[in-house]
Structure 1
Amino acid sequence: MSKDSKKNLKEVTSQASELAKSIWLAGLGAYGRAYDEAHERYEKASKDTPKLFKELVSKGNKLEEQAKDKFGEASSLGKTVSIEERISKMRASLGFGHTASATDLERLEKKLDALSKKVDSLSKADKPAAKAPVKKVAAKKVAAKKAPAKAAPKA
């Protein structure tokens, strides 16, 4: 090998070595940059995390209080009046689903008896009055028929 070829070989080797070193340093720089960005994001997230966590805890507390209030209202309703009792009261006030008791039936029977007596008395009072006009009409017709017959013999 000649001096020129050895010199060329050293230059190529030196350039390849520098290129390899540059590639290695570029990879190392990329890793460093990625690490720095990840570290920044982690620090930012760790700073925001307590704030976000505190906001979520406070929101949870508010919701828990509201739920306890609603649960307390519902449980107090159950203690005082059950749903079935409320429904039966509503039906009674509207007149639905009322079952008649023995006293209710007796009261209705008395009213029915009184109404029947009134109807009977009214029907008895109307029968003679209804027959009388019928008889008068019949009597007038009979009298009218007899009158012309008497008049004919006189003439």
Structure 2
Amino acid sequence: MSKDKKSIKDVTSQAGDLAKNIWLAGLGAYGRAYDEAQERYEKASKETPRLFQELVSKGSNLESQAREKLGEVSNLGTSTSIEERISKMRASLGFGHTASAEDLGRLEKKLDALSKKVDALSKAGKPAAAPAAKKAPVKKTAVKKTAAKKAPAKKAAE
């Protein structure tokens, strides 16, 4: 038994050492990551003013370009008045077009031709439509309750 106790103590001691080494390795990794983060923070804080100035100059360039484009667009808008725009829109849609005597004459001729065709078709002898046939009375079924239930449904549908 003493041999078994020694082997158990050795195994537990080795497991304890291994666990301690794992803990220390994790702690070392944390310390290393902290040091690297600290170095990067210091480096970034030194570069921040330069980076900020670059961004400001880039932004001011973009602002001036945008103002130029906006000025060009606003100049285009003032060159044509709203009334001119409305009249162009009406012309493109066909509103505001006054009919000339020629237009009215052409329309009159078309109307006359269509009237003659309609008269000719009506005289051609198409028989008048036959009157609609009366519906056959609905036979009552043997069960009165069923017929009573169906009747209101038909009235609602009509």
TM-score, normalised via structure 1 length? 0.41
Structure number with bigger Rg: 1
TM-score, normalised via structure 2 length? 0.40
Report the structure, 1 or 2, having the larger helix content: 1
